Structures are given as structure tokens and as C-alpha cells.
Amino acid sequence: MDSESPSGLVIVGCSRRKTVTSQPVPALDLYQGWCVPELRRRLPPGAAQRARTLVLSAQHGLVGADQPLATYEQPMTPERTRALRAPVRRALTAHLNAHPASEALLLLEAAYLEVLGDLPVPVVHSFTDPLARIADVHRILDSWSWP
């Protein structure tokens, strides 16, 4: 499928390690840990698929890959999980209205999956330890013809 077809949606969790910056940078460029650098190698700035890539941030909720964010520190606590559920659900619905998806790839720790809840997408691939299964992650992205 080409990048304009209803196909893939990637949601990746934020990481503790971030670029230290005084100016906001695109969300996908801010995070330096977890599996974000691996995903960023496939989706450099300007890649059309970044419009189908979201980051679930403990501070900001669900944001687009290119949404500017500044460095922050906010762990995902049970309180944040409860506070983020409704706004994340609204953001996900808005995103799927703009970018329908037939498959989703979730690269999220368990607490982040709890925030996200069930996805209204026919096929969902979920990895709570994506670095251990990176070949599977790449296989899914390849099947979508993502770079």
C-alpha cells in the first residue's frame, strides 16, 4: 500500500532519555531512548509516514511525530494514566478520522497500553519490548511499504 492508502498507524511510547534543548523539536526527534531511535532511522524528517506516526507522551498525551515538544520530565504514574485516558482517546479518534488505518503497530510499555485502551483498528500488532522483537517490527513496516 502506498503512504496515502488506509494502512498503517504507529504509536510509540515516549522515553526517559530526551534531547536536551531550549527550543521545541519534533516529538519523534526529542526522544532518545526505548525504540524511538530505531523508528526514527526509518522515518527521517520529511517522510510522509510521519503523519501516520504518533507518540504517547506521559506529559503531553498522544501527539504527532512532528509536533514540537520541549524537554520535560514526567513519568507515567497511575495518576497520569487516569488523567490521560480521555484526552488520548479524543486525540486518537481525531487522528483516525484524518488518517484511517487498517493496521496499527503499538510500541508501548504496559502502562502506556493501559492509557491507550482498545484501538478501533481491524489489525493491531503490539510489542511491549520492541527492541527484543525488532525484526518483527521491521517486517510489519516492510509489509506496509514504509521506508
The answer to whether the beta carbons of residues 118 and 112 sit under 8 Å apart is no
Euclidean distance between CA atoms 139 and 97, whole angstroms? 26
Percent of the chain beyond pLDDT 70?
A: 96
Single pTM value for the model: 0.93
Q: Please say if the pLDDT value at position 34 is more than 80.
A: yes
Report the pLDDT value the prediction gives residue 3, as an integer from 0 to 100.
42
Q: Where do the domains of the chain lie, and which CATH numbers do they carry?
A: 7-143 (3.40.50)
**Average model confidence (pLDDT) across the chain:** 93
Mean pLDDT within 70-83 = 94
Q: What is the pLDDT at residue 7?
A: 84
Contacts of residue 31, Cβ cutoff 8 Å, sequence gap at least 6: 12, 14, 15, 17, 18, 19, 55
